């Protein structure tokens, strides 16, 4: 009789455990351990086909194309149909439409709560990564407010556990080759505040994965090396390297992490009408996405979104299906350029295209010089390529991303991540 009671007790225990597992898996909301948001600056739908062809030919598939959730996002600001970087990033970071030139500030200049604020309240570790300056508008909207001293806000408020990118001149005084007029050495202050400082890829790789880090990686005075420069032997890490190390070092926290990755050099190249560099940097973003997918695990959420269209890049003509790389650049057999822009410095200046006070630098026409013959011409001259009204692309995988389908507004990115913290 005794052994029968024991068997019955074990059977009841097994049923109870099985029911508990079933209940947890199907009825209890499970939050993703890791959340990674990639921001491709200028990532619009038309950029995908050109990057695919540049990376390997028409039949090549990019890593982001394997992500099942897809949507096109409208991205107007509160006062303009076309946002600037500050307004677009603030909407991604806070879910609130704001006026152009507003960074982290809502109505009445009130500071808005960001995804980083919400993630810290939930006990997550926070990382930011960029191949531009750590203080650029797209990243700053997540941790700072106002167009004032953004580097000081990053250093003093210490919201970020791991920050990797460029822009050391923003943190150093003029006496040390920086841009600060207040004589503060913010990098030294961060070191004294418990951050470990790394300046090269080798130093970044040496950080042990088991350590609970407060890490500040600052790899250049301004923006970081471009893709071809890293391939040529730069000591700086690439976007994929920084993404991998950030994920590895954030995973120590049992409460999970939030990582924001900004592909800023996509914007820089597009502003300068550099088509090949724009596609190369978009390909770098795609490689970083592939790295993240391989390191962040199944119970994680990954989102990729653009911020705003830039310049109107088009790949024209009839390249062969297997053409890739330099084969799609330059001029085609008819002597016509394969890559063209809508606006930018490669355009022919118009005599009265814009009021004089809006032009940041003299045009070649005003100087009495003929416009240069550009390999990647723009239809209209501008000192730098202008933002466009294009919808931006959003793709994702993991909990919360199933709502990405069809046409949405860019506020949905904030809603997805906030709902999974």
- Read off the pLDDT of residues 146-157 as tens digits, 9 standing for 90 and up: 878 999 999 999
What are the domain boundaries of the chain? 43-312+386-420
Chain-centre distance for alpha carbon 242: 12
Mean pLDDT of 101-108: 91
pLDDT > 70 fraction of the chain, expressed in percent and rounded: 86
pLDDT score recorded for residue 255 = 93
pLDDT of res. 26: 42
pLDDT digits 0-9 by tens, 270-308: 999 999 999 999 999 999 999 999 999 888 999 999 999
Distance CA 363, CA 397 (A): 46
Rounded mean pLDDT, 84-95: 97
pLDDT, greater one: 1 or 26: 1
**Residue 232: its pLDDT value, please?**
58
Examine the pLDDT at 125 and tell me if it is beyond 70.
Answer: yes
**Residue 215, pLDDT above cutoff 90:** yes
Full-model pTM: 0.88
Summarize the confidence of residues 193-219 as an average pLDDT: 92
Residue 374: what pLDDT? 59
Residue 333 confidence (pLDDT) = 66
For residue 179, pLDDT over 50 is answered with yes
For 180-198, what is the mean pLDDT?
Answer: 95
Residue 133 neighbours by CB distance under 10 Å: 26
What's the rounded mean pLDDT across residues 153-179?
Answer: 95
Closest CA to 140 of 79, 94, 95, 73: 94
Bridge pairing between strands 34-40 and 215-218? unpaired
Task: Determine the pLDDT at residue 108.
Answer: 84
| Model pLDDT for residues 331-385, shown as the tens digit of each residue | 766 667 789 999 999 998 765 444 444 434 444 444 444 344 457 899 999 999 9
Architecture of domain 43-312+386-420: 3-Layer(aba) Sandwich (3.40)
Q: Quick one: average pLDDT of 82-105? A: 96
pLDDT of residue 2: 60
Helix (H) and strand (E) counts in the chain: 13, 15
Residue 217 structure tokens:
């990686």
- Burial class of residue 47 in the structure, from the number of CB atoms within 10 Å of its CB (0-12 exposed, 13-18 middle, 19+ buried): buried
Mean pLDDT, residues 197-214: 90
Average pLDDT over residues 314-334: 80
Between 292 and 57, the more confident residue is 292
Task: Give backbone dihedrals phi and psi of 102, rounded to 5 degrees, phi first.
Answer: -90, 125
Residue whose C-alpha is closest to residue 309's, from 410, 415, 416, 166: 410
pLDDT tens digit sequence for 112-124: 999 999 999 999 9
pLDDT of residue 167: 96
Assess whether pLDDT exceeds 60 at residue 21. no
């Amino acid at each position: 009789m005794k052994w029968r009671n024991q068997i019955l007790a074990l059977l009841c225990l097994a049923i109870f455990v099985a029911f508990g597992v079933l209940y947890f898996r199907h009825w209890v909301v499970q939050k993703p351990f890791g959340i990674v948001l990639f921001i491709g600056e200028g990532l619009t739908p038309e950029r995908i086909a050109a990057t695919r062809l540049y990376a390997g030919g028409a039949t090549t598939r990019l890593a982001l194309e394997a992500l099942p959730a897809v949507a096109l996002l409208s991205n107007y600001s509160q006062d303009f149909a076309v946002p600037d970087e500050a307004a677009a990033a603030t909407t991604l970071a806070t879910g609130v439409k704001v006026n152009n030139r507003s960074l982290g500030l809502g109505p009445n200049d009130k500071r808005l709560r960001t995804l980083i604020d919400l993630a810290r309240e939930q006990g997550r570790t926070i990382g930011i990564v960029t191949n531009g300056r750590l203080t650029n508008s797209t990243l700053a909207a997540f941790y700072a407010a106002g167009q004032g001293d953004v580097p000081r806000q990053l250093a003093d408020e210490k919201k970020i556990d791991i920050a990797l990118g460029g822009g050391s001149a923003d943190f150093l005084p003029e006496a040390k080759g920086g841009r600060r007029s207040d004589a503060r050495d913010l990098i030294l202050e961060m070191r004294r505040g418990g951050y470990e400082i790394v300046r090269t890829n080798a130093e970044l790789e040496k950080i042990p994965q088991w350590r609970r880090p407060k890490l500040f990686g600052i790899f250049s005075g301004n923006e970081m090396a471009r893709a071809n420069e890293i391939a040529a032997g730069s000591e700086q890490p690439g976007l994929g390297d920084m993404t991998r190390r950030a994920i590895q070092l954030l995973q120590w926290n049992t409460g999970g992490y939030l990582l924001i990755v900004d592909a800023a050099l996509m914007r820089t190249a597009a502003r300068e009408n550099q088509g090949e560099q724009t596609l190369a940097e978009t390909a770098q973003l795609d490689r970083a996405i592939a790295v993240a997918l391989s390191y962040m695990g199944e119970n994680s959420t990954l989102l990729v979104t653009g911020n705003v269209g830039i310049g109107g890049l088009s790949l024209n003509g009839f390249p062969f299906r297997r053409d890739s790389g330099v084969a799609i650049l330059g001029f085609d057999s008819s002597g016509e350029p394969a890559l063209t822009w809508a606006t930018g410095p490669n355009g022919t200046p118009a005599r009265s295209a814009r009021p004089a006070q809006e032009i940041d630098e003299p045009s070649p026409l005003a100087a009495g010089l003929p416009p240069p013959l550009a390999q990647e011409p723009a239809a209209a001259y501008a000192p730098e390529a202008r933002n466009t009204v294009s919808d931006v692309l959003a793709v994702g995988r993991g909990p919360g991303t199933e709502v990405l389908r069809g046409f949405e507004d860019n506020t949905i990115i904030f809603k997805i991540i906030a709902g999974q913290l």
